[in-house]
Chains A and B, each alone.
Chain A
Amino acid sequence: MEKQNMICVSCPLGCDLEVEIRGEEIEVKGYRCKRGETYARNEILDPRRMVTSNVRVSNGDCPLVSVKTIAPLPKGLMGELIEALKQIRLEPPVQIGQVIIRNFQNTGIDIVATRAVGLDSSDQKHEPEHELKKVSEG
């Protein structure tokens, strides 16, 4: 028999839940409404999380674009998602809602951009070197 403790996040009460797992059977204690029981079951059988992170953008007005999963992702895939995001390099322009990864690992869940990134428009790129006073040697 396995035991797990968790706090229900369905409402501000934050009931302390105690879950006992005996093979296929799950017993939840400590909830004060049905949502607590549902929450605990989901956390055991199919825990999912919304994941928000960043992806690298080259030549953009920001080096990163923020992204999110459009639906909660199975918790176990979070690590893989981050690894996948690390491999991507985008070029601007990037729109809000643009799909960055479609149907990640066949979950049916897309990863989309949550902000717009334009081309790097800064005209003040770098100060010419000769303008800098040499610190040593007077």
Chain B
Amino acid sequence: MNTTGRVYRAPEKDYPFFGAFFIKRGEIMERRLRVVVIGAGIVGALIAREFTKYACDVCLLEQEIEAGWGVTKANSAIVHGGYDDEPATIRAKFCAQGNQMYDSLSKELNIDFQRTGSYVLAFSDEDILHLEGLLTQAKTNGVIGCRIDRRDEVLTRQPKLNKMMKAAFWCPSAGITEPWMIAMAAVESMQLNGGRFFPGNPVIGVDVDHKGAVRGVRTSQEFFHADIVVNASGLYADRITQMVGLDPLLLYPRKGEYILLDKKMGSIVSAVIFPVPTKQSKGILVVPTVDGGVLLGPTAEDLDQRCIEDTSTTRIGLERIKSLVHRLVPDIDESQTVKTFAGLRPETPLKDFVVGPTEIKGFFQAAAMRSPGLTSAPAIAKYMATEAVQEGIGIQLTSNPHFRPNVPKYIRTSEQSLTQWDELVAKDPRYGKMICVCNKITEGEIRDAIIRGARTVDGIKFRTRAGFGHCQGGFCLPKVVELLQRYGHIPMDQLTLRGKASALLSSEVRT
């Protein structure tokens, strides 16, 4: 790491208010720029990682004990094509760009990304008109390869779709991924490049100096000096916005409920299936998941501003999903349900992202990341560290020549050939002991997850997929608990499902 020498180029003008020192034209400063990103969802994590591509000191703060456990954890996991956003919007700007970045991003971070393509089904002439509108919008937004296919063509590729459809809009660049893995891998990448991660650290204040520039961020444990603060705090964006004294974004949560079906249903569709959207939402979809399951949903219910932690499913919501999916795929069998869950998306009355610099010098928003936030995240990260910083504080950051983009891949024995697996077991027999029998995950892989940061049952689940299968932990939970004790040194009475107050078990039977 380079601690001396040129860290940034002096701007055209002097900025006397900038931090504790004075940048003069031509002078070279020795202190690295301090960046604090609030929120380690996919957006915050990728932004934090992006800043480590430059000579900055990066701190990423997160209130949960893991990255990606807010909005990032519970959504459709779709990398959208970008045809669906009105051209003048901010999301249109970032969605198509972000989509294109997923190939290289997934290789660098070694996470699952599949370009499955997507279909929007039309059942009437009015629907077809809408599809034609999508085609035009796609071209304007720079989305390549879209077209409208007739019914028969669509059915040869996706035979299980409703034969009553007339046509479908096909977008080859849409895909599916595993959003929380991206957030976690982005955090690891940031750490490998010198950034620091502070989970379990909710922000309680952001300090602004008398000249209207950020000084730093306050948590209950410490104060982080900052030249740049990025608000990527998801559902909590307004809390942070109000801490700096800016007008609230009027953020409110939009609840989406989901039904996840067993892998047995996995082959029913191989692309993301959309209905023609309504004014309310993109509709109830049928989405394949990267690990072979099928996701149904989401519903779209606007909640009161204060309900930013309400991730409960409802009878009405689940019934709605069940009643609407058959229109797209008649053979969906709900008896194959593995689990149901709900996620919240942060929405504002503008129905668009709030991204970029603000009146507070050094304070940047990466907020209201509703759909297509996941898709746009890599593009927003790039924008934040370049154009936004330039516009906001007049600085062009210097590259970090030591940036290493890659993150080691998690070993997945279930993806290896028998010979490869055999060789692996010869080196470490723990990869030969099965723990999660539904998804075929071994003790070695769970130990890897613990070494890379998992301290809870969900921490292991989200890194390895142990417990995601149809027995839902029925066979592996007691073993995962034992491994958390053995490799994570966590005593039984401190084990939790996902941190905070989610205690897993109670007292001993016999002391």
Interface residues of A (CB under 8 A from B): 54-56, 63-64, 85-86, 124-127, 129, 131-133, 135-138
Nearest CB in chain A to that of B192: its residue: A138
Interface contact B196-A137, CB-CB below 8 Å = yes
Interface contact B197-A55, CB-CB below 8 Å = no
A55 to chain B: which residues have CB within 8 Å?
A: 510
Contact with A along B197-218 (1 / 0, CB 8 A): 1111000000000000000000
CA distance A54 to B199 in the complex (A): 40
Contact residue among B453, B489, B509 (Cβ-Cβ distance under 8 Å from A54): B509
Nearest CB in chain A to that of B65: its residue: A135
Interface contact B447-A127, CB-CB below 8 Å = yes
A135 to chain B: which residues have CB within 8 Å?
A: 65, 197, 199, 453, 455
Contact residue among B190, B200, B447, B453 (Cβ-Cβ distance under 8 Å from A133): B453
CA distance A21 to B195 in the complex (A): 79
Report if B172 contacts A (CB, 8 A): no
Jot down 18 A-B pairs with beta carbons below 8 A, ordered by A. Answer: A56-B511, A86-B510, A124-B486, A126-B486, A127-B489, A129-B489, A131-B451, A132-B487, A132-B488, A133-B453, A135-B65, A135-B453, A135-B455, A136-B198, A137-B196, A137-B197, A138-B195, A138-B197
Within 8 A of A (CB), among B156-207: 190-191, 194-200
With most chain A CB atoms within 10 A of its CB, the pick from B196, B453, B487, B510 is B510
Contact with A along B435-459 (1 / 0, CB 8 A): 0000000000001001111010000
Interface contact B197-A133, CB-CB below 8 Å = no
Shortest CB–CB separation between residue B403 and chain A, in angstroms?
15
Query: Known: A124-B486, A126-B489, A127-B447. Is A54-B195 also a contact (CB below 8 A)?
Result: no
Number of interface residues of B (CB under 8 A): 23
Interface contact A127-B509, CB-CB below 8 Å = no
Contact with A along B444-481 (1 / 0, CB 8 A): 00010011110100000000000000000000000000
Nearest CB in chain B to that of A134: its residue: B453
The 7 tightest CB contacts between A and B, nearest first, are A56-B510, A138-B196, A138-B191, A127-B487, A135-B453, A136-B198, A137-B196
* Contacts A86-B511, A132-B487, A135-B453 supplied; 20 other A-B pairs, CB < 8 Å: A54-B509, A55-B510, A63-B510, A64-B509, A64-B510, A86-B510, A126-B486, A127-B486, A127-B487, A127-B489, A132-B488, A132-B489, A133-B451, A135-B455, A136-B196, A136-B200, A137-B196, A137-B198, A138-B195, A138-B196
Contact with A along B468-510 (1 / 0, CB 8 A): 0000000000000000001111000000000000000000011
CA distance A124 to B482 in the complex (A): 12
CA distance A98 to B195 in the complex (A): 59
Query: Known: A64-B509, A126-B489, A127-B489. Is A132-B450 also a contact (CB below 8 A)?
Result: yes
Shortest CB–CB separation between residue B39 and chain A, in angstroms?
16
Within 8 A of A (CB), among B52-85: 65
A126 to chain B: which residues have CB within 8 Å?
A: 486, 489
B194 to chain A: which residues have CB within 8 Å?
A: 138
A86 to chain B: which residues have CB within 8 Å?
A: 510-511
A131 to chain B: which residues have CB within 8 Å?
A: 451
Shortest CB–CB separation between residue B491 and chain A, in angstroms?
12
Shortest CB–CB separation between residue B494 and chain A, in angstroms?
14
Shortest CB–CB separation between residue B500 and chain A, in angstroms?
15
A63 to chain B: which residues have CB within 8 Å?
A: 510
Nearest CB in chain A to that of B221: its residue: A136
CA distance A137 to B199 in the complex (A): 9
Nearest CB in chain B to that of A57: its residue: B510
A124 to chain B: which residues have CB within 8 Å?
A: 486
Interface contact A136-B450, CB-CB below 8 Å = no
CA distance A63 to B511 in the complex (A): 10
With most chain B CB atoms within 10 A of its CB, the pick from A124, A132, A137 is A132
Query: Known: A86-B510, A131-B451. Is A136-B197 also a contact (CB below 8 A)?
Result: yes
CA distance A136 to B7 in the complex (A): 26
B200 to chain A: which residues have CB within 8 Å?
A: 136
CA distance A67 to B453 in the complex (A): 40
Interface contact A136-B199, CB-CB below 8 Å = yes
Nearest CB in chain A to that of B66: its residue: A135
Interface contact A54-B197, CB-CB below 8 Å = no
Nearest CB in chain B to that of A124: its residue: B486
A127 to chain B: which residues have CB within 8 Å?
A: 447, 486-487, 489
Within 8 A of A (CB), among B133-162: none
Shortest CB–CB separation between residue B509 and chain A, in angstroms?
6
CA distance A96 to B61 in the complex (A): 55
CA distance A41 to B45 in the complex (A): 72
Shortest CB–CB separation between residue B28 and chain A, in angstroms?
27
B451 to chain A: which residues have CB within 8 Å?
A: 131-133
Shortest CB–CB separation between residue A43 and chain B, in angstroms?
29
CA distance A132 to B488 in the complex (A): 8
CA distance A127 to B194 in the complex (A): 26
CA distance A126 to B194 in the complex (A): 29
Interface contact A133-B196, CB-CB below 8 Å = no
B452 to chain A: which residues have CB within 8 Å?
A: 133
